Structure 1
Amino acid sequence: MSPSRPALIVFCREPVARQAKTRLIGAMTAAAAAALSDAFIRDALAKAVSIGPSRIIIAASAAGGVERSKYFRRLARRFGAELIDQGDGSLGKRMARALEPFSSSGALLIGTDTPSLPGALLAASLGALRRSRVLIAPSLDGGYYALGVRGAMPPIFTAIRWGSGGVFDSTVKRLKRAGIRYALGPAWYDVDRWADVMLLAAHLRLLAGARHRGGASPCPATESVLDQLGVLRHDR
């Protein structure tokens, strides 16, 4: 019998001005940064729907709890997703809490800061988790943007310097030390800082230039916000 399809967990926080994408504030307004964060979330959920996991889960953080968040309740209805609260604690503790209920069939947890990631690559990572106990997809800043677990939780959620450039390396070392085999997903770039936004804009302009050959934008909501902000017209 082939392994069941894993669930896909979109891990995010409510895009509130001055709390979302704060490293972009200054290069853009707090409201614009929040709008971009919202677009990232919507694009991640649309991508999740397109690849057809067994279940889509929004693991969210919001003031007052996600069940009281009109924003997340609306997204859950729109994308046919289940809604759970990340809860308190470190990033590792919150990720483990989101993944643990899905340990029997497996779940792939993704962030929302890789909007240009092609859906086909996300689907490949989800598929690889059916053959592996752990799937980890590195981001170019030294972290990872996707983590899949099937079975017992591996010892990779504590004693990690979250937010540092060594998160991916530290996680892989912990997996090797524990003798846990893992699969690698494709590397991709995060969008956290203004230089990343410029990279994203350049990438989207290249994709748009080639779109006459067919194909859709990997992140239409993000592309729309960047266009409204004038970023996609930069240096044209």
Structure 2
Amino acid sequence: MTKSRPALIVFCREPIEHRSKTRLIGALTPAATAALSDAFIRDALAKAVSLRPSRIVIAASAPGGAERSKYFRRLARQSGAELIDQGNGSLGRRMARALEPFSSNGALLIGTDTPSLPAALLDASLHALRRNRVVIAPSLDGGYYAVGVRGAMPPIFTSIRWGSRNVFASTISRLERAGLPYALGPAWYDVDRWPDVMLLAAHLRLAARSRRRNGSSPCPATESVLMRLGVLPHDR
């Protein structure tokens, strides 16, 4: 029997000045970092829609709760997504809370800090989850940008030093100690700091040169913001 296609959960925080992408403030204004955060979310949701998962879910954090956020209610309507609140607690607790209602049929949770990730690589993680109980897609900073679960929740969301460079390694160690099989999704880079923005801009410039005439950008909303900020030239 073919297993059902997993749900895709976009895990994100409402873009608000002085609260969004704060490690970029200084290199960019608070308004610019909020605009970039908004673009990251929109590009992640556009990929989710293009892949046609069984369900699209926005697991959101917003002042007053996701359900009261005009920003997230509008995005949910536009993308045909369900909207749930992340709730309180550690990053691990919030991710587990978002995954658990959907994990019986499989659910892949993705962050929004990998805007240039090709949709095909995200789709590879979705496909891997149809054959595996756990899927982890590592990011180059030592964490991971996607985690998928099918069935009971694995013991990987507690006792992890979130934000450290050992998140991915600690997660794999927990899985192996528990004897749980897993699959790895494609590795990609996060955009958290100014050097990451420079890497993203260089990547997008190179991709634009090699893109076929009818090719599309992996992150059109992000490209638009970077051009508006002068980080990307308009005549690429």
- 1:153-232 equivalent positions in 2, closer than 5 A: 153-232=153-232
Separation in 1 of the partners of 2:108 and 2:186? 14
Unmatched runs of 5 consecutive residues or more in structure 1: none
Instruction: Report how far residue 213 of structure 1 moved.
Output: 4.8
Tell me what 2:40 maps to: 40
Q: Deviations along 1:102-127, whole A, 9 cap, x unmatched?
A: 12101000000000000000011001
Q: Write the letter of the residue equivalent to 1:19.
A: R
Separation in 2 of the partners of 1:93 and 1:108? 16
1:112 matched to 2:117? The reply is no
Separation in 1 of the partners of 2:124 and 2:211? 23
Tell me what 1:24 maps to: 24
Separation in 1 of the partners of 2:138 and 2:101? 24
What RMSD in Å do the two structures reach over aligned CA positions? 1.1
Q: Deviations along 1:159-207, whole A, 9 cap, x unmatched?
A: 0000000000000000000000000000000000000000000000011
Unmatched runs of 5 consecutive residues or more in structure 2: none
Tell me what 2:139 maps to: 139
Show structure 1 runs of 4+ deviating over 3 A: none
Q: Write the letter of the residue equivalent to 2:29.
A: T
- 1:4-19 equivalent positions in 2, closer than 5 A: 4-19=4-19
Secondary structure of 1:158's partner?
coil
Identity score, percent? 81
Separation in 1 of the partners of 2:62 and 2:207? 34
Instruction: Report how far residue 212 of structure 1 moved.
Output: 3.5
Separation in 2 of the partners of 1:187 and 1:168? 11
Tell me what 1:61 maps to: 61
Separation in 2 of the partners of 1:162 and 1:229? 31
Separation in 2 of the partners of 1:131 and 1:212? 33
1:72 matched to 2:72? The reply is yes
Separation in 2 of the partners of 1:212 and 1:146? 29
Separation in 2 of the partners of 1:214 and 1:168? 37
Task: Please report the TM-score for the alignment, with normalisation by the length of structure 1.
Answer: 0.98
Separation in 2 of the partners of 1:37 and 1:213? 28
Q: Write the letter of the residue equivalent to 2:198.
A: M
Separation in 1 of the partners of 2:48 and 2:229? 26
Instruction: Report how far residue 233 of structure 1 moved.
Output: 2.6
